[in-house]
Structure 1
């Protein structure tokens, strides 16, 4: 069986260059911003920010639902960075907190606590 492309794109094509509108509104916590600012690995920081921008457009990439409405985005860089988030409609409470593989269990527990507090505040 032979597969052919229906359309060919120029090298370097990027959906963001054509101005695709955001799908989600991203809310970042101060805690996440502090964590990101403290990251010494500039390459990792850049990759994380790219993932945030893609998530805004509905492309969460390597992500999975954990429990209690909290999901995890895995960043393939350095020690295995994680970003924890929750969605409510078109609002994404992305970036409840961040961490890496070594602190994963504690980070998940903390993200669940943060999401419960945010949900309570919203109701």
Structure 2
């Protein structure tokens, strides 16, 4: 089983959610089904697009795409979504989000978030490295 979460920018916004929320009902159902397949470990429609970012292709309508990064073997971070028409711009944005996620995660690990662990610096480091707590709101 794979856990799927959304990348959050520094203001707590999800670029993936912003895209998903604009989809029509039929497209949203197809995209939610694709996310569910990822949760089940099915990555058959996935290809790497560089810099640790992957593209899940949904061959319906305008060719929907879900862009994500893998944080280990069991965590997927949804970075953005789009269509084949805007593919290059969407991939570029997803790569920026993935770099930001990794940078903030590294910072969180270096600073520590619990005073019981080495590296904890009370108040000296920002908290949270940019993932949602789940996908329940979008049916994932």
- Common fold, TM-score beyond 0.5? yes
Aligned to 1:10: none
After TM superposition, give the deviation of residue 77 of structure 1 in Å.
1.0
**Pairing partner for 1:77 from 45, 60, 72:** 60
| TM-score normalised to structure 1 length | 0.77
Q: 1:119 aligns with which of 102, 118, 129?
A: 102
Runs of 4+ with deviation above 4 angstroms:
none
Given candidates 29, 42, 46, the residue that maps to 1:59 is 42
Pairwise mapping of residues 1-123 of structure 1 onto structure 2 (< 5 A)?
Answer: 23-29=1-7, 30-40=14-24, 42-89=25-72, 90-93=74-77, 95-123=78-106
- TM-score with structure 2 length normalisation? 0.68
CA deviations on 1:17-74 (whole Å, 9 max, x unpaired) are xxxxxx111111322112111112x211101101101101100231101100000000
The structure with more radius of gyration = 1
RMSD of aligned residue pairs (Cα, Å): 1.0
- The count of residues paired between Structure 1 and Structure 2 equals 99
SS of the equivalent of 2:6 reads coil
Structure 1 runs not aligned, ≥5 long: 1-22
